[in-house]
Amino acid sequence: MKGLAGFALSILILLAPPSAGAQSKPKKAPAASAPAAPSPYAQRFATLCATCHGANGRSDMPGTPALAGQHSFYAITQLFLFREGRRSNEAMTAVAKTMTDADLRGFSDFIGTLPPVPAPPPATPPDAARMKKGAELAQQHKCTFCHGADLSGGQQVPRIAGQREDYLQMSLQGFKSGKRPGYTMAMSGAVSQVSPADLDTLAYFAAHFTANTAAGR
Ligand code: HEC
Ligand code: HEC
């Protein structure tokens, strides 16, 4: 098994600008980087991913994360972890295991172009006391330090604002139990001192977080 340094190095290689040597198929690259040609990965996403993740990257399926508004760097680390069997989920392992490095990059770049899609408005307004408690916990445990005051993340840190609550809950419990080893130790460290009940409150807070929450409304 490769150590974390090995994984980090592999990602750096994946993220390096494509050069002749990095292409999996020897293909003549266009002389200048021609912008704005629609990515073939948009089509492949529609065919292979949209059934579960939604055409616009927002899913209605239980346990299935919204990808809309997610950062390409974060997406590539996760596709890589699925491919290498470091993060396991039956559906995603099957999807990722045959991906080439170019596929990891292509899908991640496409995900990075999907604008955030807000969660459908809840039937009842979020519980104010629980939101307040969640905001306090997010400060206390430095969630906002890495994920940002608006929980939108950046680079290898995922957007968690407006993510599905069931998925957030499962992910946080997974980091705590070790079922989901992260790309780095950041999350296992962050949740080690947080009780399962507080993790659920944090999941509730992030899932219901909107621009209004940020503005204190
Ligand atoms: C059969 C349903 C299914 C299909 C098809 C599918 N996914 Fe997923 N995907 C999931 C589920 C479920 C998860 C959450 C996995 C977990 O429990 O950790 C996930 C997680 C992810 C994540 C990690 C998101 C995060 O916030 O950590 C990425 C990135 C992703 N999928 C991309 C893709 C791409 C790209 C495709 C198409 C090539 C695809 N998925 C196809 C069900 C699916
Ligand atoms: C030191 C920086 C850091 C801190 C502090 C931190 N996070 Fe994270 N978080 C990350 C990174 C980096 C990831 C990507 C996971 C990986 O390594 O694969 C992540 C992933 C997550 C995910 C998974 C999202 C997804 O789409 O799968 C959730 C949920 C999350 N963090 C919530 C929290 C909460 C709640 C807190 C506070 C208790 C917190 N984070 C504190 C950096 C941090």
Q: At what angle do helices 196-207 and 128-140 cross, to 10 degrees?
A: 110
Q: What is the mean pLDDT of the chain?
A: 88
State the distance from the centre of ligand 1 to the C-alpha of 198, rounded, in angstroms.
Answer: 26
Q: Exposure string (b/e) for 115-137, b if CB count within 10 Å is 16 or more?
A: eebebeeeeeebeeeebebbbeb
3: pLDDT confidence band, cut at 50, 70 and 90?
very low
194 lines ligand 1 (CB under 6 A): no
- CB distance 51 to ligand 1 below 6 Å: yes
Whether pLDDT at 23 is above 50: no
Question: Is pLDDT at 5 greater than 90 in this prediction?
Answer: no
Cα–Cα distance measured from residue 36 to residue 31, given in angstroms and rounded to the nearest whole number: 15
pLDDT of residue 132: 98
Q: Say what the pLDDT of residue 110 is.
A: 98
The reported pLDDT for the residue numbered 215 is 73
How does pLDDT run across 43-97, given as a tens digit for each residue?
A: 999 999 999 999 999 988 999 999 999 999 999 999 999 999 999 999 999 999 9
130 within ligand 2 shell (Cβ under 6 A)? no
Q: Which of 76, 136, 147 should be mutated for ligand 2, with most atoms under 8 A from CB?
A: 147
